[in-house]
Amino acid sequence: MMQKGIKRIFDVVCAVLALLALAPVWLVVSLWVGLSSPGGIFFRQKRTGYKGAEFELLKFRSMYVNKEADTRQADNADPRITPVGRFLRQSSLDELPQLWNIIRGDMSIVGPRPHMIAHTDYYTPLIHDYMRRHDMRPGLTGYAQIKGFRGATPDLSDMQNRVTADLEYIDRFSLWLDIKILAITAWKMLTLKL
| pLDDT band per the 50, 70, 90 thresholds, residue 3 | confident
Closest CA to 118 of 74, 73, 154: 73
pLDDT tens readout for residues 150-180: 888 889 999 999 999 999 999 999 999 999 9
Query: What pLDDT score was predicted for residue 190?
Result: 80
Mean pLDDT across the chain: 93
pLDDT category at 71 given cuts 50, 70, 90 is confident
CA distance 117 to 32: 29
User: What single-letter amino acid sits at 37?
Assistant: S
Q: For position 77, what pLDDT does the model report?
A: 84
